[in-house]
Amino acid sequence: MSEAILEVNNLKKYFKVPGGTLHAVDNVSFHINRGETLGLVGESGCGKSTVGRVILRLIPHTEGQVIYNGENILSYNHQKMQNLRKKMQIIFQDPYSCLDPRKTIGQIIAEPLQIHKTVPSGEINEKVLDLMAKGGVSRKLFNSYPHELDGGRRQRVGIIRALALNPEFIVCDEPVSSLDVSIQAQILNLLQELQDTMGLTYLFISHDLSVVRHISNRILVMYLGQMVELCPARELFRNPVHPYTKALLSAVPIAKYGYKRDRILLEGDVPSPINPKPGCKFANRCHLAQDICRREEPPVYTVSEGHQVCCHLAN
């Protein structure tokens, strides 16, 4: 059995807002094995990015544990967390706003090396050029600024910056959602190549199931801050169990002329995550919902080995 590099136990993140408490992440648990990619999917606003940011402690948690290499990092002080950041990095969604427009590409990539002092100052430029070559960015762009690059190259710079400190674990927060399809494929192939050569572990966040299927070993589906299904990628596409997962998969386009998939159209409004009512959060949009679904929150059921689902109908 593979070693778990990361374990998330009963993670919660609530925000105080006018009118009550917003449940952005509500009791989410999962693990990621060393060297694998866990895809995290769901519609906009379901809490995917919040999970990634809480894991990296970019925002504080409300409850729960994040166990990284056997230690709960949510209890780390500033100094211990500063040292750990060499091993845990993030690739942001927007390849432009995440880069300092006042700095050149060389300065952007060199910044983490300078902050953490992992490379002697006289060797930083050489290290930056080596990283640029590894990420597929021409050395002639060393003195260029972000606005002079297209989206694909800017995202490569973001990836290279994340690799500068030789991390073990990277949160990929929708890294290809703002790119053209052909560029998406290049970035995904680069991420997989880097994973193979550097032994990286990814939490890959996306709303696009086609992208997640291409890169993930396992997939976790979220709805309104909660996990609804978790299983190997092939199993999810072959045997989805939760009604929400089935609805998501029915909307995935198929590049085959004349083939039509039966769409599952969700009716009703998405319930508010502020002061949520008891029961399953998907109940008011689920055509299979029963009385128990509206009264009680479903526990986690094991459908088969490695396949978990939060649905009363799975019992």
Q: How many CB atoms lie within 10 A of CB 60?
A: 9
Nearest residue to 273 (alpha-carbon basis) of 23, 10, 51: 23
**Mean pLDDT in residue range 241-251:** 90
Q: What is the pLDDT of residue 177?
A: 87
Examine the pLDDT at 78 and tell me if it is beyond 70.
yes
Q: What is the pTM of this model?
A: 0.93
Tokens of 4: 């778990």
Mean pLDDT across the stretch 40-61? Answer: 94
35 in Cβ contact with 201 (< 8 Å): yes
Phi/psi for 76 (5° steps) reads -70, 145
Tokens of 68: 């990284």
Q: What's the CA gap between 197 and 207, in Å, rounded?
A: 27
User: Coil, strand, or helix at residue 119?
Assistant: coil
How high is the pLDDT of residue 215?
Answer: 93
- For 273-311, b where at least 16 C-beta lie within 10 A, e where not — what string? beebeebbbbbbbbeebeeebeeebbeeeebeeebbbbb
60 pLDDT higher than 70: yes
Angle CA 196–116–197, to nearest 5: 10
Residue 257 has pLDDT above 70, yes or no: no
Q: What is the pLDDT of residues 201-216, one digit of tens each?
A: 999 999 888 889 889 9
pLDDT at site 46: 92
Q: Is the dihedral of CA 103, 109, 115, 118 positive or negative?
A: negative
DSSP assignment of 133-187: HHTT--GGGTT--GGGS-HHHHHHHHHHHHHTT--SEEEEESTTTTS-HHHHHHH
Distance CA 249, CA 128 (A): 41
Q: What is the pLDDT of residue 260?
A: 67
Average pLDDT over residues 9-38: 96
Q: What average pLDDT is seen over the chain?
A: 92
pLDDT tens per residue, range 80-133: 999 999 999 999 988 889 999 999 999 999 999 999 999 999 999 999 999 999
Rg (CA), the chain: 21
